[in-house]
Amino acid sequence: MATISWLLFAFKQCEPGLGASVMYNLLYNKPQKLMLLAGCGTVYNSCRSRKMWNLIVLCYGASSPALSDRSRFPTLFRTHPSATVHNPTRIKLMKNSIGHEWPFYNKPKKFYIGK
């Protein structure tokens, strides 16, 4: 907890150099840090940089199927399932209710499939 207090103190001093120095020391020294991220585009880039920062990444809203690749994201853990996990249920529901009309609402969403 003392390291977090020191980081907050450094950023409140309006000294970008001091803040960057404290952040660098926190990232590259033990203990290993945990990063908590939401479900947005920054998750993908943060997960790719985790090797350099020695981070464990926990996401509570990221659903991109690309993030399921454990060879690319070995330290990523998420509480939200992949976007493709509900597809079999949707298909069974539609097959079992033949003769019904199904309205579909779609919100375009950018999935990260980076290399």
Does 112 have pLDDT greater than 60? no
Query: Who's near 102: CB < 8 A, 6+ residues apart?
Result: 94
- CATH number for the region 32-100 comes to 3.40.50
Look up tokens 């947005």; give the residue.
40
Expressed in percent and rounded to 5, the helix, strand and coil fractions of the chain are: 45, 10, 45
* pLDDT number for residue 96: 77
* pLDDT number for residue 4: 58
Answer yes or no: pTM beyond 0.75: no
**Confidence tier at 36 by pLDDT (50, 70, 90):** low
Of residues 55 and 45, the one with the higher pLDDT is 55
Does 5 have pLDDT greater than 70? no
pLDDT tens digits for range 6-33:
556 655 666 667 767 777 777 777 777 7
Ranges of each domain in the chain: 1-31, 32-100
Does 72 have pLDDT greater than 70? yes
